[in-house]
A and B are shown apart, each in its own frame.
Chain A
């Protein structure tokens, strides 16, 4: 090829279909293929060993999967997760507002709360609340043990724990909103509440939803810890069964599959919530 044709073809191809141009050959990705084959073989071996291992007793799993005891436990796990999320984020939002306020006392209180409740392991906290009667035998004239049953203790403990994390998530979301947005809203005379509700929160949600989705899934699984104070959630329900029947593995598989199913559904929900709050900010790919 003479240097003359080279310059010409670089500018505009002479022929419309560029027939005289060299063909582009993509690089061969041998490494990629090898890695894929190795991983698939390993995965196949793992799946095979699970399906062929009779000790899993998949028949027993199927028998218990939709039994009343398991469904009751699942239901408790679901509503406990929902209540803890709602209360935790409500308290967390309040704490975030405190932390971002101009009032140094509120800021310090919020900081102190987050510091304390992030420092105490949730298991330790639940046991403390469960035994709170030792500290305060009576609350408002009622015996503490009557007032705070295991389920109430679970809600309180998990909520206080959740709020500390939620506070940081919400605070991060609010800080991610451009300061100019608030100024523009102030310049337009929008009230404090309206600025928060209509301008700041919807924009903060974009950065709140992904970590909140993470927390929701974490909380769903984390509620299994309440089995230590004999609250009959999904885990404790299957434990009650296998303590009777000694079918430990298949019943743990019942819980495992349920947790996986619910987590997957939550992931789908998160996708749509994220899409909703991405209005007007879609990235062009």
Chain B
């Protein structure tokens, strides 16, 4: 090899390492001891959580460092069970089996997600009206044409083509699929008998695409297709969205407001933070304004923090204060990133939950 290149490479490496060292040195938080909080789990809330962490670390507590690895809800739950992390993120509440594995886990709703139904129909913009049963029939392959009377009757003013419907679903296991199939199971007996709910299910028909981006691209690229994506993704990318009928018979477009409305309606029946949340959902809420395909995403923490190795009084306090920040000021960061903020009654529930966290039996100051 040419000596000139070797020298250039060495100089480049020295410069890079030097700037990293300088950055680390300059950003070191003075003399205060740094407290490190670790979490892992769901990918859905990651953009919001990442923004909250950045704000918190830069503006509120420079001596706290928070790592969140977006490895998926399943991974987060197993990390919490093995006590590898201080908190976990999950799109679904713990199942009965998981609750038995992680005794005394607290559920803290962190933000609200919704699943939107998107479609590619030339000449038809957002607002196609669909009911849960029709949606289930489309994804089950029993309604096969766009101008099927079941769809046409809901949309008398729309000219629907006599084309086959191509359904698009997520091919990877995902919380989005879990919420969508849970909704279909709830509103359609034929769906719950034949398919059921899960992070991935045995789809009777359709194309599988990877991630929100894959589904969006497949729907965008193929006329007469229909798929489902997560709300924040759909809003950011200006996708067409169907208005779905809620129990009061209103057709509701997915928005941050109609999502929060569902959470507000559901909050009345939520269990306490330390009770079992198995089976809790925000689907098909009985509120005229509420969008029907909505779900919380949760932060999971141990109620008594001394079960975690390396837990200290200082770290426990930092964790409690960080959680407090997420459910209060952190919520203000949501709308800019297309995340629906928690309604006040859920925030109150979270306050009680966070205040019940202890370290060696002592409660911790949350503010």
Q: Do A and B come from one complex?
A: no
- Residue numbers of B with Cβ under 8 A of A are none
- Which residues from chain A sit less than 8 Å from chain B, CB to CB? none
